[in-house]
Chains A and B, each alone.
Chain A
Amino acid sequence: MFEIRQDGDYLRLKGRLDAAQAAGAESAFADITAGALLDMSALEYISSAGLGLLLKTHKRLMGQGAGLKLVEVNPHIADILHYSGFDRLFDVTREK
């Protein structure tokens, strides 16, 4: 199960962003129209399908001047972001 919802200044991601869930999350990411802070503290898992969704959204937003910032990233997701080279593309922090 995957959820994305507004929580104050943050968009809070929760659950597992796997290939099955990423398909259903496409429209929620398409609704992001300006640079955004993604609270990843409750995101348990991400696969290449979820990474693709983050990349597609970030590229679209960066074309308008400001992309996604990933905050409170747990250690194993931080590793995946690193191995994917995403820590070079996104502003990634372990803390808020």
Chain B
Amino acid sequence: MNALLELEHLDIAYRTPAGVRRVVHDVSFAVQPGEVVALVGESGSGKTTTSSAVLGLLPSGGRIESGAVRLSGIDLAGWNDRRLESVRGARIGYIPQDPVSSLNPVRPIGAQLADVFRIHRRGDRRAVRGRVLELLERVGLDDPALRAKQYPHELSGGMRQRVLIANAIALGPELVIADEPTSALDVTVQRRILDLIDELRREHGTAVLLVTHDLAVAAERAERVVVMQHGRIVEQGTTEAVLDAPAEEYTRRLLADAPGLAEHEFRHPRPPLYLRDADVAAAENPFALVASGLTKTYGLGRGREPFRAVDDVSFRVLRGTTHAIVGESGSGKTTTARIVSRFVAPDAGSVEVGGSEVTSLTGAAKREFRRRVQLVYQNPFASLDPRQTVAEIVAEPLRNFGVGDRRSRAAAAARLIDRVALPAHLATHRPAELSGGQRQRVAIARALALEPELVVLDEAVSALDVTVQARILELLEQLQGALGLSYLFISHDLAVVQRISHSVSVMRHGRIVESGPTEQVFRAPQHEYTRELLAAVPRRPAPTREVFA
């Protein structure tokens, strides 16, 4: 065997005061020189633990219980930090997940890159400086001499990730471990970063172990895929074999749930009411929400140009349909959502909900408005009060508006908990005891308590694993059908938007660049930026089938 990296029957456990907890069981796989292997799994599947064990970077308490980690035939398991130093950076590079917290905020990036050379004693000061500039240029940063003097906060997320990549490849390692290298980045930036990793691999023949939760990324970039669940390997093989003919139930489910891989029908609004019943239509306003000319400007302090977060944004949401606003971070989509749900006052423009103007509401009228529009937040860990029980959280809106008495509210909460398909016994639990998906269901149940006309979902599924995400999307669709809800769906994820929305607006720099029915926008994008966004979505590079015919 001449594998570059070989894991053999690896068992990893954490020692906690409560006892020994095994998190990785009997994991064996190999990475050949120059190969890209994707380690795929949901959060808690042990994929990150496995990859950090290779470098001996397990969190405190973590230990390799048995098994071997062979790098070119030499077993690294059980090496201490001092011995591993000769391997870390020099033979195995590491790209961490979070570019924001992985760089020292008080040192210029050039100095941080120079550390790699200093630690491994490669070259004198002058030579190192030259190498650093070379590296920065190599990873595609413009004006390396300037960048080297800048601090991390002066760089964007994508640029910081490039610096971390430069750090990982500085000494020309044979293997790079990339732990979710693009999860925190926008889709167009993600594409460029993945392209960069690909390019470096082709040039230097570096092998890559790509840890990711996104099967689409794995499908697009990897030659072989290792699927993990509950700390065990479920399935492994070449990408084609695993994707075309998954042997295991779990892999099949992952494939079906991955929004970028599965093909879904585009959603079309049901025939509008006036086609079904002309009389009703005459009296009825077909739009749940009409936003026109919304503008919001934030001052950045004296002497600086004010920042236009939202610039003349107009869109409409048909009753009973989902309208998506899609854009990258900083595009103004969240500000738009917050204007619609009246947490931010616009500088200009109007929002009409069900035909009545709501932007000018204040005091009691504004409070009354809360019954009609509800917001579901991105992070289900922050949007639920940790000290309340699930039943209390769900019943709180009813309590605020004095709907019913204590007993009828408890009954209503039980109905809502059932409505979002949560087991009834969870009613007495607190959020900390729930999983992310369960929490988001609680947040949705709370939003439905007052029977609103419009639910604003601000990145409501972005923080969830693909299978959980798929279940929540199914729930949202089913609730929409049953209750006739209208959704304003804010997201950066085009694959999710394609699946859930009837119509879509694409935002960039605070403006809507393109708007229309989802099918039309996705099949025949008019604007350059929309095309760029669509091209950046990771897809399987399948020669046999086209995702968009």
A and B: interacting chains: no
Interface residues of B (CB under 8 A from A): none
Interface residues of A (CB under 8 A from B): none
